[in-house]
């Protein structure tokens, strides 16, 4: 099954050139992962900032934090499988709710056009709580005297939020953006859970939900091209490293030095 | 008054300059939004638990029934008869527990050495450990798989690591790749640096051995940090899918709970026996979610502290 390292031949860059020039599925996976990460991270971070402020302003915030914490600690595979049933075209809860508001039913996971979108929605649902809890911890560290001083000077709610909360929350925001990017580029569990009963066929329909780690897994352990899979791993590693560096730079330039 | 005490006084309303509209003063509309979002979080869980007790006919009914007419407890019996859920629980427990134990021991010891001893190359070692935290797990998967297969003298291998299956049929193949954590070492070091050297020197003058220092002084003082490391590690690896999936493909007896839950959709027909799959998922996640939820404080601290590395 596996070649011994002693029998392996040196092939130069051919694994890399193969995945970039001949492997259409790899390029599709690259594109899908890009779309996934670039939508899940910004949307879930913006929503969770909003959510953290809402929870912060509640008198009994602990119960709210507990509710939003639940998806964070639930096994992602189980989340994916439950959502797979929520997306069912005929009896799924999501279509039932859509119909309630007069929208048409969608064939979420079976339609190549909406399959990736379905997974993005689930991922946002699952990520929002963890982000919120980190941002909430950041909010609690902001001394209230700043707000009082601003209120005395007549600053409106929005001004207080954009001039005090956001700049001081920057380290926490940077953290959720960077860790979110790192984990989103590695998305695997949700796709495996939601797209097919067997692993070999996960990533469908017609590769519309194929992502980099999933394709790496299939290349290595279903098709047994270990070298090609390693090349993919390095491509992904470089993307993740580069993104993290760019994000750190961007936030640093913004003024507040984080960490 | 420290900033923390100041903030606390404000939050409890003890300080009397309560002019800020930022605290404890949510408008009704905010609460309504929060309730709606909270329901969105809870709805899938509620649907899961109620569906696990439905018949096939009740499950596909539109609009959905939330409380089944007769709770179908036999769904759970059917799942337990068909799928070795207890075995999965056991494997997950051994894996996550083994990793946690090992990470706690190695993190505390390595953290102690890096924080409290001066030796040649210490900073280089520490930077090396920091660098491992930057690398995502998928990058190691293929080489580590080979390593597990080619451990000499294990699982029928000869001294060159050839001929057998190595550790691939042992729980060690699930534990060893994660047995040491750069994050854990980093965290423990940061905590131990805060403990004054004078304290240790005073104990040394009294004749305490280095082991005594570690077990009787350092460990009790870093208990909260160690608990955070342990709980965060346990939850992370309990929920891990990627590596156990690779291992259990060749060694089905090592199937962990996460992999087992995924395989429910192969044990049962996902269309005709959806209610049984959902019953299996309920048994698979509910007890653990309740346990983990009670550890929220530690977990969030672990998440926040994992950000210290930047």
Domain holding A107, by residue range, is: 14-253
pTM of the model: 0.86
* Residue B18 confidence class, pLDDT cut points 50, 70, 90: very low
* Alpha helix positions (H), chain A: 14-17, 24-56, 61-73, 76-86, 93-100, 115-140, 144-152, 157-160, 166-184, 189-195, 212-221, 226-253
Q: Is residue A205 part of a domain?
A: yes
Residue of B nearest to A220 (CA): B142
Q: Is residue A8 part of a domain?
A: no
Tokens of B24: 């404890």
Partner-chain contact A259 B242, CB within 8 Å? no
pLDDT for B109: 95
Name the residue with higher pLDDT: B114 or A91: B114
Identify all chain A residues contacting B131, using CB atoms and an 8 Å cutoff: none
Widest distance between CA atoms in chain A: 76
Residue of A nearest to B308 (CA): A259
Tokens of B2: 């420290």
Partner-chain contact B138 A213, CB within 8 Å? yes
Q: Are B88 and B258 in contact (CB under 8 A)?
A: no
What are A9-68's pLDDT values in tens digits? 788 888 888 888 888 899 999 999 999 999 999 999 999 999 998 888 888 888 888 899
Residue of B nearest to A98 (CA): B63
pLDDT for B134: 76
* Total Cβ atoms within 10 A of residue A171: 16
Partner-chain contact B265 A197, CB within 8 Å? yes
Q: Is residue A5 part of a domain?
A: no
Partner-chain contact A69 B300, CB within 8 Å? yes
Q: Is residue A137 part of a domain?
A: yes
Identify all chain A residues contacting B41, using CB atoms and an 8 Å cutoff: 67-68, 70-71, 125, 129
Q: Is residue A259 part of a domain?
A: no
* Residue B176 confidence class, pLDDT cut points 50, 70, 90: very high
Please count the residue pairs, one from chain A and one from chain B, whose beta carbons lie less than 8 angstroms apart: 212
* Residue A139 confidence class, pLDDT cut points 50, 70, 90: confident
Task: Indicate if the pLDDT at residue B101 is higher than 90.
Answer: yes
- Average pLDDT, whole number, for chain B? 84
Partner-chain contact A125 B3, CB within 8 Å? no
What are A179-238's pLDDT values in tens digits? 889 889 999 999 998 887 777 778 878 888 999 999 998 888 888 888 888 899 999 999
Q: How many domains does chain A have?
A: 1
pLDDT for A254: 55
Identify all chain A residues contacting B303, using CB atoms and an 8 Å cutoff: 130, 133-134
* Residue A2 confidence class, pLDDT cut points 50, 70, 90: low
Tokens of B1: 């008054």
Hey, is A24 helix, strand or coil? helix
Mean pLDDT of B168-197: 90
Partner-chain contact B62 A91, CB within 8 Å? yes
Widest distance between CA atoms in chain B: 77
- Measured in angstroms, the CA of A193 and the nearest CA of chain B are apart by 6
Mean pLDDT of B215-240: 90
φ/ψ of A145, rounded to 5, equals -60, -30
Q: Is residue A88 part of a domain?
A: yes
- Give the whole-number percent of chain B exceeding pLDDT 70: 90
Nearest to A57 among B30, B265, B270 (CB): B30
Could you give all domains of chain B from N- to C-terminal order, each with its CATH number?
A: 3-79 (no CATH), 81-309 (1.10.3720.10)
Residue of A nearest to B261 (CA): A78
Partner-chain contact B42 A199, CB within 8 Å? no
Hey, is B63 helix, strand or coil? coil
pLDDT for A38: 94
The gap between the terminal CA atoms of chain A, to the nearest Å, is 47
Name the residue with higher pLDDT: A239 or A104: A239
Nearest to A82 among B34, B138, B281 (CB): B281
Hey, is B206 helix, strand or coil? coil
- If you search the block for the tokens 């270990």, which residue do you land on? A226
Burial A71-96 (b: 16+ CB within 10 A, else e): bbbbbbbbbbbbbbbbbbeebbbbbb
B90-B256-B85 Cα angle (round to 5): 60
Identify all chain B residues contacting A221, using CB atoms and an 8 Å cutoff: 246, 249
Residue of B nearest to A230 (CA): B142
pLDDT for A205: 85
Q: Is residue A42 part of a domain?
A: yes
* Residue A258 confidence class, pLDDT cut points 50, 70, 90: very low
Mean pLDDT of B168-174: 89
Mean pLDDT of B188-201: 89
Q: Is residue A228 part of a domain?
A: yes
Task: Indicate if the pLDDT at residue B306 is higher than 50.
Answer: yes
Q: What is the CATH number of the domain that holds A89?
A: 1.10.3720.10
* Residue B14 confidence class, pLDDT cut points 50, 70, 90: very low
Mean pLDDT of B36-48: 91
- If you search the block for the tokens 């839950």, which residue do you land on? B261
pLDDT for A4: 62
Q: Note whether ipTM > 0.90 here.
A: no
Task: Indicate if the pLDDT at residue A154 is higher than 90.
Answer: no
């Amino acid at each position: 099954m596996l070649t011994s390292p002693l029998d392996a031949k040196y092939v130069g860059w051919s694994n890399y050139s193969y995945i970039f020039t001949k492997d259409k599925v790899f390029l599709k996976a690259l594109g899908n992962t890009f779309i996934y990460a670039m939508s899940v991270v910004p949307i879930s971070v913006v929503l969770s900032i909003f959510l953290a402020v809402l929870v912060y302003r509640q008198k009994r915030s602990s119960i709210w934090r507990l509710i939003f914490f639940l998806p964070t600690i639930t096994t992602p595979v189980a989340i994916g499988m439950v959502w797979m049933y929520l997306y069912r075209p005929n009896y799924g809860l999501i279509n039932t709710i859509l119909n309630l508001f007069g929208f048409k039913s969608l064939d979420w996971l079976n339609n190549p056009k909406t399959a990736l979108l379905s997974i993005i929605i689930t991922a946002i649902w699952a990520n929002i709580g963890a982000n919120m809890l980190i941002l909430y911890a950041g909010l609690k560290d902001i001394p209230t005297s700043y707000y009082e001083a601003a209120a005395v000077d007549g600053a409106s709610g929005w001004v207080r939020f954009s001039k005090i909360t956001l700049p001081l929350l920057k380290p926490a925001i940077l953290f959720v953006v960077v860790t979110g990017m790192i984990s989103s580029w590695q998305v695997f569990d949700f796709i495996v859970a939601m797209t097919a009963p067997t692993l070999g066929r996960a990533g469908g329909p017609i590769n519309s939900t194929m992502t980099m780690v999933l394709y790496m897994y299939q290349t290595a352990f279903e098709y047994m091209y270990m070298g090609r899979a390693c090349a993919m791993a390095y491509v992904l590693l470089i993307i993740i490293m580069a993104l993290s560096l760019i994000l750190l730079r961007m936030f640093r330039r913004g003024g507040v030095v984080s960490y | 008054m420290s900033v923390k005490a100041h903030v606390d006084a404000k939050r409890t309303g003890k300080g009397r300059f309560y002019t800020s509209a930022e605290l404890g003063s949510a408008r009704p509309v905010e609460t309504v939004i929060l309730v709606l979002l909270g329901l969105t979080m809870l709805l899938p869980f509620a649907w899961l638990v109620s569906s696990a007790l439905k018949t096939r006919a009740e499950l596909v009914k539109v609009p959905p029934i939330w409380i089944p007419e007769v709770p179908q407890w036999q769904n759970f019996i059917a799942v337990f008869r068909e799928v070795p859920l207890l075995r999965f629980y056991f494997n997950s427990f051994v894996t996550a527990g083994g990793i946690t134990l090992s990470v706690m021991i190695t993190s505390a010891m390595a953290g102690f050495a890096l924080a409290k001893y001066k030796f040649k190359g210490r900073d280089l070692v520490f930077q090396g450990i920091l660098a491992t935290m930057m690398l995502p797990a998928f990058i190691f998967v293929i080489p580590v798989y080979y390593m597990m297969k080619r451990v000499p003298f294990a699982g029928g291998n000869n001294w060159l690591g050839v001929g057998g299956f190595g550790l691939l049929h042992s729980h060690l193949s699930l534990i060893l790749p994660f047995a040491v954590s750069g994050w854990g070492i980093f965290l423990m070091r940061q905590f131990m640096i805060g403990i004054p050297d004078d304290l240790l020197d005073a104990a040394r003058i009294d004749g305490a051995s280095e082991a005594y220092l570690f077990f009787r002084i350092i460990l009790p003082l870093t208990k909260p940090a160690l608990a955070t490391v342990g709980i965060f590690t346990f939850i992370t690896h309990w929920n891990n899918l990627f590596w156990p999936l690779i291992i259990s493909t060749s060694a089905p007896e090592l199937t962990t709970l996460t992999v087992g839950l995924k395989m429910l959709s192969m044990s049962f027909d996902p269309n005709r026996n959806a209610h049984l799959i959902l019953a299996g998922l309920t048994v698979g996640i509910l007890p653990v979610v309740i346990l983990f939820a009670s550890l929220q404080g530690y977990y969030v601290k672990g998440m926040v502290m994992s950000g210290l590395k930047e």
